[in-house]
């Protein structure tokens, strides 16, 4: 993914006749996507077009949006299933927060033993999960599903691409071997 754009959601479908459409927001909270005045929309970060957000609001369990450049149902339909990106510069991150994109590619260690590399993060309600896959040259192949919580994470160095964790009792069950 382009380093200057962050994925924040997906266009779902038109809503009405005047270009309004529904979106899926991947921000936390979901309404956080409404805080950006412009979006880049496209199937990939390399194929985006900029849009000015006129209005973005909660509607039932979802979100609706009006963009300045979209005024018909047909225009809204043409954006269906495309991704929504914002400039990384517009995203505020506190000192104790991390962008998921920045964690992908980090090597994860437990007691200085390499467990693998972060391939993704997933949200399961109560806590986020680090999906850590063994590197190809490692003897033990498989995937770890590790809770991204204070009790587990000892240190995190985004620039150095390193995460040190504590494997607390019972966490060996978080490993799925690959045969």
Looking at the fold, whether 134 and 57 belong to one and the same domain comes out as: no
Looking at the fold, whether 10 and 70 belong to one and the same domain comes out as: yes
Residues of the chain predicted below pLDDT 50: 1
Looking at the fold, whether 74 and 111 belong to one and the same domain comes out as: no
Boundary of a domain, candidates 35, 62, 90: 90
Would 31 be classed as within a structural domain?
Answer: yes
Tens-place pLDDT, residues 124-155 = 777 889 999 999 998 889 999 999 988 899 99
Looking at the fold, whether 57 and 13 belong to one and the same domain comes out as: yes
CATH code (residue 110): 2.30.30.240
Looking at the fold, whether 10 and 86 belong to one and the same domain comes out as: yes
Looking at the fold, whether 50 and 113 belong to one and the same domain comes out as: no
Would 95 be classed as within a structural domain?
Answer: no
Would 72 be classed as within a structural domain?
Answer: yes
pLDDT for the residue 1: 46
Number of domains in the chain: 2
Looking at the fold, whether 84 and 121 belong to one and the same domain comes out as: no
Boundary of a domain, candidates 90, 111, 134: 90
Looking at the fold, whether 24 and 81 belong to one and the same domain comes out as: yes
pLDDT for the residue 3: 63
Burial 128-164 (b: 16+ CB within 10 A, else e): bbbbbbbeeeeeeeebbebbbeeebbeebeeeeeebb
Looking at the fold, whether 107 and 172 belong to one and the same domain comes out as: yes
- Domain interval for residue 54: 5-90
Boundary of a domain, candidates 42, 67, 90: 90
CATH code (residue 30): 2.40.30.60
């Amino acid at each position: 993914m382009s380093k200057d754009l962050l994925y924040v959601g997906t266009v779902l479908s038109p809503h009405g006749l005047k270009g309004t459409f529904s979106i899926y927001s991947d921000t936390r909270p979901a309404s956080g996507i409404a805080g950006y005045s412009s979006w880049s929309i496209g199937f990939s970060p390399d194929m985006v077009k900029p849009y000015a957000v006129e209005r973005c609001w909660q509607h039932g369990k979802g979100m609706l949006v009006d963009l300045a450049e979209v005024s018909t149902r047909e225009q809204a339909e043409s954006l269906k299933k495309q991704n929504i990106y914002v400039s990384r510069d517009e995203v505020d991150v506190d000192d104790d927060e991390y962008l998921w994109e920045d964690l992908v590619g980090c090597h994860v260690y437990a007691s200085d033993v390499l467990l693998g590399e972060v391939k993704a993060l997933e949200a399961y309600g109560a806590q986020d999960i680090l999906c850590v896959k063994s590197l190809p040259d490692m003897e033990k192949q498989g995937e770890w599903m590790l809770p991204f919580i204070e009790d587990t994470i000892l240190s995190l160095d985004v620039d150095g691409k390193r995460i040190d964790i504590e494997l607390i009792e019972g966490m060996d069950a978080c490993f799925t071997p690959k045969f």
